[in-house]
Structure 1
């Protein structure tokens, strides 16, 4: 069973934000996730004891996950804090939506792109204190990838097309499994040039590309928040260009690569001869042969410090 701890107002030493009410909160913690750690529940409780609020800290478990999340939403608290992997945080943010409670997705995963954009740090303890002390309501834009069978929200980026097959190889390299990375890389190269996406952006004629990347304005530093998603069409003519583009993506600003063309859009349609490989907020998946990408100006409401202009310019990818 999950352990639920309640932290009551006692002798607070630090001051809560006055921008939004924070009398009651729930903190959902997955101790087994990414950078969280086995002692996270106790560490969260110790931090919360410094503030004048009532908090319920829930240690998430696989068997009780759905019930625990249901209970968190049913509690009608002022904010939900999520210290877990990127996937779990995204699931809870998507469920909250624009009309649900404020959500604070703390950096407890591997990439932590959204938490770093919101809090300016990959340290979950620092992010927790920043949310509590200077948090305000932030409208987080995102998108949805919709095909005939599902609607998949994203708050960072969606990669559609054969280059998405590189995601398993990159993950294998990150974890030191080099032989597996090589096998994934060979598979990706074999499929990378076997088919191209047909895509259409708002106001443009249909085009073809190796991959279409849609990036949330919360993450992107190249577009304004209200302009839509940053759409990047990537075109390569062979393995050498594919490797060059991969190197830019890892170590440089890939928008400078001549094989990449970007522009803002609020809608995109894509089609291919077969099912479309995709990576949506870091999660690999297979879409149907036709899909749409729709911009959501307010995907959910985050509890985070108001962004500074310079920080906004430096937070994107």
Structure 2
């Protein structure tokens, strides 16, 4: 469903909230998935009310199963200055991937469960506050990321057996304790079934239990976009692995002695079988021979300067 909002000609210009002085915003399209994460059925109407306050040519498209992909295509076909995305992390990632560096600016608003990228860009999990920040203070910012087997990520990728714990972690976050226990048992059965062999930027071959690749915008350890932060997690035994899992969930895991990190632009990973992975919160299965590339300018975000970086790792 689509609604195009036209500015009220009777409204005084000085009564309207001022749009950002950093970019020219004349036409925007907002994609809303009411079934996603924390969005809710009233979000589209609430978005229309907010956008109507601004001197904008704004269109709100509601995403549903029947017109999901078509609505995204329609948003790009309108050639807006920016596409605002209020949906899950996976949808925001798909729209950003489609935009590429030469497409419209993308504002990935917090509508999912983890919201790592929105928190890093806007410093809030409140989508209404993030929307106003994007419109009133937003600038065009290049966002870097990574690519593996045609899949792009802008926050983090986890490769190896710890990726099997992702469903259990998400179940805990949503209060589904019984389901979390089932996922945890499944992860335990499959854990330590095979180690990864990897090389960073053509260097020496190393082995590890898991490899975490973090984008510069999300990483607490990197100030400049010089590569992905590659963190090798290498527990020596089961008890150490449990400690590392707890550390990764509840505190700064870089302080763990089983973790070593460094930036890299080209990461080559091999295993004896397919590699379980989590890409920006989405579980996937990679081939046994995977190459991850750093993408310095993956897409343009509409976000305040500098990024808030609340969702950093």
The equivalent of 1:316 in structure 2 is 312
After TM superposition, give the deviation of residue 169 of structure 1 in Å.
Answer: 1.2
The equivalent of 1:79 in structure 2 is 82
CA distance in 2, matches of 1:177, 1:238: 29
CA RMSD of aligned residues (A): 1.2
SS state at 2:44 partner: helix
Structure 1 window deviating more from structure 2 (180-189 vs 271-280): it is: 180-189
The answer on 1:264 being equivalent to 2:267 is: no
The equivalent of 2:27 in structure 1 is 24
SS state at 2:19 partner: coil
The equivalent of 2:240 in structure 1 is 241
2:117 touches 2:311 (CA, 8 Å); kept in 1?
A: no
The equivalent of 2:159 in structure 1 is 160
Task: Give CA-to-partner distance per residue, 1:179-223, whole Å, 9 cap, x none.
Answer: 332222122122221210000001520000000000000100101
CA distance in 2, matches of 1:159, 1:152: 13
The answer on 1:8 being equivalent to 2:6 is: yes
After TM superposition, give the deviation of residue 277 of structure 1 in Å.
Answer: 0.3
1:97-136 alignment to 2 at 5 Å? Answer: 97-136=100-139
SS state at 1:63 partner: coil
After TM superposition, give the deviation of residue 145 of structure 1 in Å.
Answer: 1.1
After TM superposition, give the deviation of residue 315 of structure 1 in Å.
Answer: 4.8
1:198 touches 1:208 (CA, 8 Å); kept in 2?
A: yes
CA distance in 2, matches of 1:61, 1:191: 35
2:274 touches 2:288 (CA, 8 Å); kept in 1?
A: yes
The equivalent of 1:274 in structure 2 is 273
| TM-score relative to the length of structure 2 | 0.95
2:202 touches 2:266 (CA, 8 Å); kept in 1?
A: no
CA distance in 1, matches of 2:165, 2:40: 29
After TM superposition, give the deviation of residue 225 of structure 1 in Å.
Answer: 2.6
The equivalent of 1:287 in structure 2 is 286
CA distance in 1, matches of 2:27, 2:84: 11
CA distance in 1, matches of 2:148, 2:205: 18
CA distance in 1, matches of 2:265, 2:140: 23
CA distance in 2, matches of 1:194, 1:66: 38
The answer on 1:181 being equivalent to 2:184 is: no
1:104 touches 1:304 (CA, 8 Å); kept in 2?
A: yes
After TM superposition, give the deviation of residue 67 of structure 1 in Å.
Answer: 1.0
CA distance in 2, matches of 1:93, 1:80: 9
1:159 touches 1:279 (CA, 8 Å); kept in 2?
A: yes
The equivalent of 1:48 in structure 2 is 51
Structure 1 residue runs of 5 or longer lacking an equivalent are: none
1:189 touches 1:239 (CA, 8 Å); kept in 2?
A: no
Count of aligned residue pairs for this structure pair: 308
After TM superposition, give the deviation of residue 232 of structure 1 in Å.
Answer: 0.2
1:215 touches 1:231 (CA, 8 Å); kept in 2?
A: yes
The answer on 1:228 being equivalent to 2:232 is: no
SS state at 1:217 partner: coil
Task: Give CA-to-partner distance per residue, 1:219-262, whole Å, 9 cap, x none.
Answer: 00101332100000001122211211111111110000011000
Structure 1 window deviating more from structure 2 (32-41 vs 233-242): it is: 233-242
Structure 2 residue runs of 5 or longer lacking an equivalent are: none
Runs of 4+ off more than 3 Å: none
After TM superposition, give the deviation of residue 142 of structure 1 in Å.
Answer: 0.3
2:217 touches 2:225 (CA, 8 Å); kept in 1?
A: no
1:7 touches 1:45 (CA, 8 Å); kept in 2?
A: yes
SS state at 2:98 partner: helix
1:211 touches 1:234 (CA, 8 Å); kept in 2?
A: yes
